[in-house]
Amino acid sequence: MTEDAQASLLALTPMNPVFKADPHVVLRPLRETRPVARDPQAGTFIVTRYVDAHRVLANRRTSRNGARAETCAHLAHRQEAQLPTNVPRSEVASMIVLDDPDHARIRRPLQRAFYARVKTCRLRLEQVVDAALDAIDPERPFDLMVAFCLPVPIDAIAAIIGVDNVSLTDFRQWSEGVALGLNPFRSPEQTVLLEQARTSLRDYFRGQIDQCRVTPRDDLISDMVALQAAGAEINDAELALNLIALLVGGNMTTTDLIGNGARLLMLNPGELEKLLADPELAPLLVEEVLRFEGPIDVTERIMTDDIELSGCPINATQAVTTILRAANRDPAVYDDPERFVIDAKRAPHLSFGGGSHFCIGAPLARLEGQLALLKLFQRFPTLKIVDCDAEPAWRTLPFFRGLEKLIVHA
């Protein structure tokens, strides 16, 4: 079980046409017969059962720092090699790949300010969703991704962070630019765009931090500046970097939550009927979309202790890749896992990861998903996919599942 030439992370990406069409054709046999499989090329263990993935993610002693991995953990080292070494790691690597004490030092104040903002942003999010819906011309077919799923998360995070209307157009462009960082197969031209977007966003946020220090406003940046003044140990470079991390971590994922959810509701009219008859089901709907067709496939940890998973020994310094999509359909945890049922009360999914790196954006993603899907179908209850028989246009981005386009008519 520890050495398996056929288990390969590359086969668990849309580069594999079978996986792209239906990931579960590949994941199901892996989970059933080789739940902990070694990928020698990537230098990681591929973990597909819920119980094992949950155990790894809940373990707060694990690391996200590739430098702490054994030499043959190629994927982990590749990520680390891209970081400059002449600056403190916490100023070039966001919380996503930091370990404690830096991770806790940076995440704690940001989480406190961010969660408080999300609690009070419902009305503003409703306005963002309504504005996107108002801009749609329902008289002709339209691309739901471009018209709705893409702009809503960017405008929502802009409102929370405190981006003014003058900067919004630039901000939208930079946000799409930094998302290119998620694509390991980007072209050299795209890498140039990515670097430009990163620099522009960093300069923009540094300028805003300075301004909020002089004239506080009602937004997340001002909240963070106030926490700094009250003693929170996060410097301006770290703050700007982690504000960018909110965009990178949050935009495409929430776009895909809304896009995948809308597609599932259109393909399952009975479930849509349930939602429209009882809008209180929106929170359960979003959890079921996240379980059934979540936006992210994987998250990784470096072990710092020896453990055993499904009978397979794994040593400290070895890398483990948890396959969230496989765990979320594990029949050992879910009844009838291959069915999309919006009012099923199921065990929590793993789509937001777990432990100390549990997605900081989860409360926002959940609220946005609920408002967006409910309002979309309340406005256009007969929304249909234009060509239901055509292959869905899944993006070819490793470790993410979302649609490039979704042409619909109202």
Closer residue to ligand HEM, CB minimum distance, 247 or 266: 247
Residues 146, 157: Cα–Cα separation, whole Å: 17
Q: Which stretch binds ligand HEM (CB under 6 A): 73-81, 221-229, 245-253, 376-384?
A: 245-253
Between CA 407 and CA 387 the distance in angstroms is: 8
When asked if residue 358 is in the footprint of ligand HEM (CB under 6 A), the reply is yes
By residue count, the chain amounts to 410
Taking the complex as a whole, how short is the minimal distance between the CB of residue 390 and ligand HEM, in angstroms?
25
Judged by CB under 6 A, the chain residues 254 through 273 that form the site for ligand HEM are 254, 257
Q: Look up residue 26 and give its two tokens.
A: 């590949």
Contacts with ligand HEM, 271-290, as mask; x by CB under 6 A: --------------------
Look at residue 311 and give its three-state secondary structure.
Answer: coil
Closest CB 351 distance from ligand HEM, rounded Å: 5
Which residues, numbered 145-204, are part of the site for ligand HEM (CB under 6 A)? 157
Beta carbon nearer to ligand HEM, 290 or 408: 290
Q: Could you tell me if 132 and 159 are in contact, meaning their C-beta atoms sit under 8 angstroms apart?
A: no
Q: Cα separation of 170 and 360, whole Å?
A: 25
What b-and-e string marks burial along 131-140, b requiring 16 or more CB atoms within 10 Å of the CB?
ebbeebeeee
Among 26, 57, 144, 194, binds ligand HEM (CB under 6 A): 57
Of 144-152, 250-258, 261-269, 392-400, the window that binds ligand HEM (rule: CB under 6 A) is 250-258
Site residues for ligand HEM, window 84-143 (CB under 6 A)? 95-96, 107
Is 172 in contact with 251 (CB distance < 8 Å)? no
How many whole angstroms separate alpha carbon 257 and alpha carbon 260?
5
At its nearest, how many Å lie between ligand HEM and the CB of residue 409?
26
Binding segment (CB under 6 A) for ligand HEM, from list 71-79, 141-149, 232-240, 295-303: 295-303
Name the token pair of 2: 């520890």
Q: Which residues contact 146 (CB under 8 A, 6 or more apart)?
A: 405
Looking at the Cβ atoms of 16 and 65, the one nearer to ligand HEM is 65
CA dihedral 376, 378, 382, 385 (to 10 degrees): 20
Which residues contact ligand HEM (rule: CB under 6 A)?
57, 95-96, 107, 157, 245-246, 249-250, 253-254, 257, 294-296, 299, 351-355, 357-361, 364-365
